[in-house]
Amino acid sequence: MSELVLTETSGGVLTITLNRPERKNALTHVMYSALGDAIDGAADDKAVRCILIQAEGAMFTAGNDLGEFAAVNAGDANVTAGVRGNRLLEALGRARKPIVAAVQGHAVGVGLTMLLHCDLVFVAEDAKLSAPFVNLGLVPEAAASLTLPARIGHARAFAVLALGEVVDGPTAVAWGIANACVPLAELRARARAGAEAVAARAPAAMRLTKALMIDQAAIQARMQEEGVHFHDQLTKPEVTEAIAAFSEKRAPDFSRFD
């Protein structure tokens, strides 16, 4: 397992920790693979009854490492091969064990969309959830175009996915994205308690309950559909402009695009 993604199993809980705080836990394709492997590996591990995802540092994750997006946009075949087929998203789409998340600070892009595949979500009072895909010339991923409207309604979901509006911790709870908003100092303990409560329940009944609550076929189909558009958009001039604007600390100018 990459040192950028740490894992530890105890008390029936597999804890997965994003460990790239110096880069705001921005995710590379190597980290995506490590996360996906950890979630998939829990499926047949009898020592794991629940998965807990957390992060080191002040931020849950800044989302995808934009350096990799820039490389794909520039036509780097090696990076493109690594980015295509996101192991984390695939694993979330077929996960059988319940997943709990502990979120502090910013959770950007996949940092938000992965929460829609978690069964319990705890956010700190400083949490800021956002999915600025269109701002980057991209489309939603992780089946967020399906799961977020189902969770919070079309109008709210459109504001988040299309306009990049930020959802704070209390609002995430009010909208049903998270279970509770707690002081930062209490976040990990609260999430751990939630994971241990899940792990203490009848395991087969717990897995069946999760499965009955989720339409995995629809989620996986939407992920595939989003993935085609996402990777196509990565090669487009809109993304070139968005990445340049981000680097130059200015607003992107999409006025010349159809």
Q: Residue 114 is which amino acid?
A: M
Q: Contact 83/49 with Cβ under 8 angstroms?
A: no
Q: Look at residue 1 and tell me whether its pLDDT is greater than 60.
A: no
Poorest-pLDDT segment among 39-48, 66-75, 129-138, 177-186: 66-75
DSSP state at residue 250: S
Query: With pLDDT > 90 as the criterion, what percentage of the chain qualifies?
Result: 94
The DSSP secondary-structure symbol of 236 reads S
- Look at residue 41 and give its three-state secondary structure: helix
Distance CA 179, CA 33 (A): 28
Using the predicted structure, report yes or no on whether residue 172 has a pLDDT greater than 70: yes
pLDDT at 257: 93
Q: What share of the chain is helix, strand, coil (3-state, %, to 5)?
A: 50, 15, 35
Question: Structure pTM?
Answer: 0.95
Q: What is the pLDDT of residue 126?
A: 98
d(CA 33, CA 73): 21
Domain covering 5-185: architecture: Alpha-Beta Complex (3.90)
Please report, as a single letter, which amino acid is at residue 23. Answer: R
Residue-level length of the chain: 258
Comparing 11-25, 43-57, 72-86, 171-185, the range with the smallest average pLDDT is 72-86
pLDDT in tens, 187-210: 999 999 999 999 999 999 999 999
Q: What are φ and ψ of residue 27, in 5° steps?
A: -95, 130
Please enumerate in sequence order all residues whose Cβ is within 8 A of that of 194, keeping only pairs 6 or more positions apart, or say none. Answer: 100, 120, 122, 179
At 82, is the pLDDT very low, low, confident or very high (cuts 50, 70, 90)? low
Q: Quick one: average pLDDT of 167-181?
A: 98
Sequence ranges of the domains in the chain: 5-185
pLDDT score at 258: 84
DSSP bridge pairs for 8: 15
Instruction: Give 86-136 pLDDT, tens digit per residue.
Output: 999 999 999 999 999 999 999 999 999 999 999 999 999 999 999 999 999
